[in-house]
Structures are given as C-alpha cells and as structure tokens.
Amino acid sequence: MEIGKEVSDFSCFDEQWQRVLARDKGSDGQFFYAVKTTGIYCLPSCPSRKPKVENIAFYDSIDAAKKGGFRACKRCKPDIYL
C-alpha cells in the first residue's frame, strides 16, 4: 500500500474493514479509516457507530487522510498518532 493513497486492493480493504468492525486496538496507528459522508477519519478502535462500508476509505497516515479532505474524529482523537 502506498503512503498517501486511498486503499484500492480489495483483499487489504477487507482485512482492514474486519479490524474496524472488531474495534481492534492493536491496529491503532497502523492505518486510519475515513467516513466520506461525515468528513472525519478515525482509529480502527473508534467506539462510534460503524458507517456503511461503501462510505469508507482507508489511509496509511493522518497526513494522507487530511490531504483527502478529512478532519480528526472528536471521539477517538486519532491525532495522538502524529
């Protein structure tokens, strides 16, 4: 996966989505997910309600998510991984 690029490989996408659904704290900082409908990005362990899968994108870094036009979630505060 390239840094600064939205994930496009389906197998990687599916694996990361499963980690988000499981709220896997071990994945925090390894990747971030963004919700297109709300304009936010979160940690995989974020306790917020899970979005529809068609509304998400995964990013390797906070900078990549920000460049994609997203802001930090106020609930899980992913900026601690800067």
Active-site residue set: 42
Rounded CA-CA distance 35/22 in Å is 17
Dihedral-angle region of residue 4 (phi above 0 means left; psi in -120 to 50 means alpha; beta otherwise): left
Rounded CA-CA distance 27/43 in Å is 8
Q: Phi first, then psi: what are they for 72, rounded to 5°? A: -70, 145
